[in-house]
Amino acid sequence: MLAGSDGQVRVRANVDGEVEIRSAVGDLVVSGNIIAVVEGDQEIESLSVRKTAEVVEILVADGTEVEAGTALMVVREISEEEGY
- Give residue-wise pLDDT tens across range 22-51: 999 999 999 989 999 999 999 999 999 989
Q: What band does 79 get if pLDDT is binned at 50, 70 and 90?
A: confident
The domain spans of the chain are 8-79
CATH 2.40.50.100 fits 8-79, yes or no: yes
Q: Which of 68, 56, 65, 61 has the alpha carbon at shortest distance from 21?
A: 61
- Give residue-wise pLDDT tens across range 45-70: 999 998 999 999 999 999 999 999 99
pLDDT > 70: percent of the chain:
88
Question: Under 8 Å CB-to-CB from 9, ≥6 apart: which residues?
Answer: 1, 2, 3, 49, 53, 74, 75, 76, 77
pTM for the predicted model, two decimal places: 0.86
